[in-house]
Structure 1
Amino acid sequence: MERSLTTEDDCADVLMLLANVRGGINSLMAEVLEDHIRHHLLSGEKSSSPPQELAENMIDLVRAYLQ
């Protein structure tokens, strides 16, 4: 990314690179969020939480990390 910006690459190429980076980061974020939900919200001592509380926790996570 830095090289593309410092070598004055074509704007379309830089935008494509940014879109690819964003896609990769979004995919990684989805994987980490899924892992967190499965291991921390749906298992262990939290599994006894009411479904509404689990849903609210998941919504809070999505809002915090994907906005």
Structure 2
Amino acid sequence: MPHSAEDKRRAITRLNRIRGQADALARAVEAGTDCAPILQQLAAMRGAVHGLMADLLDSHLRETMAKQPAPSQADIEEMLALLRSYLK
């Protein structure tokens, strides 16, 4: 979760952009648009979601690593679980 005001603003901006892409995709499907542009839009949405996930993961890892001189075993396990879920 982004904690600074700037990080929150940036995350909300990205989420709004993703929502706009999803709305445009729904309109395209309803209109019977050809598959190629729909697939292209889906790829753009996937990239936007992955970018947001990477930013949030980066923020979380930096925060976890900064809170103590060395991360605990539990912190390491949590980070690994996050990375595994991100890489699926």
TM-score normalised over the length of structure 1? 0.78
Match of 1:17 in 2: 41
Match of 2:30 in 1: 6
Paired residues, number: 63
CA distance in 2 between partners of 1:37 and 1:9 (Å): 41
Answering whether residue 65 of structure 2 is matched by residue 42 of structure 1, we say yes
- Deviations 1:3-34 (CA, angstroms, capped at 9, x unpaired): 01100101000000000000010011000000
Cα root mean square deviation, aligned: 1.8
Tell me the SS of whatever aligns to 1:13.
Answer: helix
Unaligned runs of 5+ residues in structure 2 are 1-24
Match of 1:32 in 2: 56
Match of 2:7 in 1: none
- Deviations 1:13-61 (CA, angstroms, capped at 9, x unpaired): 000000000001001100000000001x20114x4335xx354432211
Please identify the structure whose Cα radius of gyration is greater: 1
CA distance in 2 between partners of 1:22 and 1:49 (Å): 31
Answering whether residue 83 of structure 2 is matched by residue 59 of structure 1, we say no
Higher relative contact order (CA 8 A, sep 6+): 2
TM-score normalised over the length of structure 2? 0.61
